[in-house]
Amino acid sequence: MSDRAGRPRDVVLYDANALNPYGAEVGALLLAAGYRVTRWCRVGDPFAGAAHRSRRVLWASRRQVGVIAAGLSRILGPWAFAAGHLFSRRPLVFLWLLSRQDLRVARVLTRLGRDVVVVDHNPIPERSLPGRSAALMAGLRDGPARVVVHSPHLVTEADGRRERVVPHPSYRRWVGAYRARSVRHHAAPQALFLGALRPDKGAAELPIIVAELLRVDVRVLIAGRGGLPDDAWAACKGHAGFRTMGLTQSLTDHEVAAALRSSHVLLAPYTDVTMSGSILMALSAGLAVAAYESPALRDVLPHEFTVAARDPLALARRAAELAYATESWAAVVDDAMQASDLACMAAWQRVLTADDVAVAAR
């Protein structure tokens, strides 16, 4: 189906990620722009009707259908998608490529001349998919498929390849669905670390940051998978203002929403960041963010939210300042997320029509 200018108004989304609501957010923006969205996603996706006009089952989890059926669905689902779109004239947008199956399906449809768009969330070569998967992704990039990245910074990091830049959407619809909006009536403000406890996330600096925040009466919640040696947390454990959750298993959407709802500022001591879903989710929930300066975050965060890299005490102090003055930043954050969504919607419309223009890195 096309509009009067002959541009496609039907779009198909391949959303293979059950943990990240990115696909639902993109679908909702395309619906708002007037597209008829068919979204292929997991069984039990909570955004029925809000992020697509129609939905198809891509795969199911072990909890939903059992181990054998889940395994079969993960193998057969991508190929069912391919079979259903061998002769499709609609844009086929691969929002995630998480497995070799996903990559092979995208490549087959590209070779058959279908209109394929691929979102590459992390195009930096040394941090991209390993082994055979990296080779498959390189094959996609060398073909006619259009590749989307989330900032000009990522185009630069991708060794000069030409890509379409589409800003990352906010998570405002997810925040609304799970009532994750920050509630600021607590006696003492709370700082939140959300995400995996990894070196690139600044996990090694967290004990210093946490200890400083507790010293100035800012409560701290660590919500993410992983851990640190016990002696690193010696100054924090047992403190009434310090809590952890999800260290041994993935958090549910409701648990993430509860963590955001009770917090005032997000801790983001990231040392090697491309784009952060945790930061965008926190901003969408109305939280301020204390982060290290980074080219990738320059267009996302106000400069008042950042400090020089690798200075955990400075980051802790900035987090405390933001936590105690969070009301003054609420409108700024909300306006930024609304602007991000409008830019995202406009960029997707360019990508899905003949008007889209490749962006050169250099």
Per-domain residue ranges for the chain? 10-149, 174-337
The DSSP-derived string for 287-333 is: -EEEEE--GGGTTTS-GGGEE-TT-HHHHHHHHHHHHHTTHHHHHHH
Contact by Cβ (8 Å): 336, 299: no
| Number of Cβ within a 10 Å radius of residue 334 | 15
Work out the burial of residue 9: count CB atoms within 10 Å of its CB; fewer than 13 is exposed, 13-18 middle, 19 or more buried.
Answer: middle
Domains 10-149 and 174-337 share a fold: yes
Residue with tokens 């691969």: 94
How many Cβ atoms are within 10 Å of 34's Cβ, its own excluded?
9
Would you give the DSSP letter of residue 146? Answer: E
Give the Cβ contact number of residue 159 at 10 Å.
11
Choosing among 3.40.50.720, 3.40.50.460, 3.40.50.2000, 1.10.10.10, the CATH entry for 174-337 is: 3.40.50.2000
Q: Mind listing the pLDDT tens digit for each residue in 70-122?
A: 778 778 889 999 999 999 999 999 999 888 889 999 999 999 999 999 998 87
Record the tokens describing residue 299, joined without a space: 């267009």
Q: Tell the residue number behind the tokens 């400069």, with chain if given.
A: 303
Q: How far is CA 124 from CA 134, 174, 252, 298, in A?
A: 11, 28, 29, 18
Ranges of residues in the chain with a pLDDT under 70 are 1-8, 46, 48-50, 61-65, 124-136, 156-162, 185-187, 354-362
Give the tens place of pLDDT for each residue, 149-184.
Answer: 988 877 755 555 568 899 999 999 999 989 999 987
Non-local CB neighbours of 8 within 8 Å, separated by 6+ positions = 1, 2, 89, 90, 91, 115, 352, 353
- Confirm if 173 and 257 have CB atoms less than 8 A apart: no
Roughly how many angstroms between the first and final C-alpha of the chain, as a whole number? Answer: 36
- Is there a contact between 93 and 117 (Cβ–Cβ < 8 Å)? yes
Phi/psi region, residue 265 (left: phi>0; alpha: psi -120 to 50; beta: rest), is: beta
Tally the residues of the chain. 362
Helix axes of 327-351 and 277-284: crossing angle, nearest 10 degrees: 120
Query: What is the CATH number assigned to the segment(s) 10-149?
Result: 3.40.50.720
B/e letters for 46-60, b = 16+ CB within 10 Å, e = fewer, are ebeeebbeebbebbb
Which residue in this structure is represented by tokens 């889940």?
A: 70
- Residue 88 sits at the vertex; the CA angle it makes with 173 and 146, to the nearest 5 degrees, is 65
The pTM assigned to this predicted structure is 0.87
